[in-house]
Amino acid sequence: MIRRDWAWRWSPAIGPLTLTLRFEKTVEPTPRAWLSKRPNSPYAIDAPGVFVGPARDVRTERIYADDELLCWARSYHSPDDESVAFDARTLDALIDGALGPFVWDLLDEDYVQPIAAGDDAASLARYLEGDETELGAHYAKLFAPLAVDARTAKNEDGVLAAISVAFDRWHETHGPQERPRVVHVACPRAMPSDWTARLRAQHPRLLISIRWD
């Protein structure tokens, strides 16, 4: 099967660009153990859970792995052909169910900008082989930011309450399985940002930007 390289939608900045696949906690073997046994890998183990590509310098691709995720990281340098081919084979195996269900996110870590995302293997397959124009329209809609005005909040609970109300209104015009991916929150100037940890605990894939007014 012919599929694009996983970084095809990225206009390289400093990076890194990351592709993160999150698996169910009970998966066996673990993603790290599974990756370490993949045949013909150009990646070498650099540290526990860190696999580095053959360049061994700033251009080097890396894969981070633990018991629940695999995360590819790539700089703005063009990757070597061997790593690209291995990545493709590995993603094909994962799409075919090698480690069971997963969700995935493609993120420009330099600008904290989402590039693509999906909630299952089929959506990753579509990203790698689907129509580019249709995918562009899909991701533009997916990552349309939800604006939240919490400037009248008196404390962190007030900020979270304003976000909850905005989420409820958002769901009135979207499917029950859909969720905001990006939220822009306007807060009072003196408001600390500790509430973001509580919000991320509930929505770990949510991207949050804050404007203090």
Identify the pLDDT of residue 103: 96
Q: Which residue has the tokens 């580095």?
A: 52
The predicted model scores a pTM of 0.89
Q: Which residue has the tokens 């089929």?
A: 122
Is the pLDDT score of 66 beyond 80?
yes
Q: What is the pLDDT of residues 9-64, one digit of tens each?
A: 998 777 799 999 999 877 789 999 999 999 999 999 888 999 998 865 656 789 99
6, 57 in Cβ contact below 8 A? no
Task: State the average pLDDT for the chain.
Answer: 90
Q: What is the pLDDT of residues 69-107, one digit of tens each?
A: 999 999 887 788 899 999 999 999 999 999 999 999 999
The upper half-sphere exposure of residue 104, i.e. CA atoms within 13 Å in the direction of its Cβ, equals 26
The closest of 156, 87, 94 to 125, measured between CA atoms, is: 94
Amino acid identity, residue 153?
A: A
Identify the pLDDT of residue 194: 87
Residue 196: CB atoms within 10 A of its CB come to 16
Is the pLDDT score of 2 beyond 80?
no
Is the pLDDT score of 1 beyond 60?
no
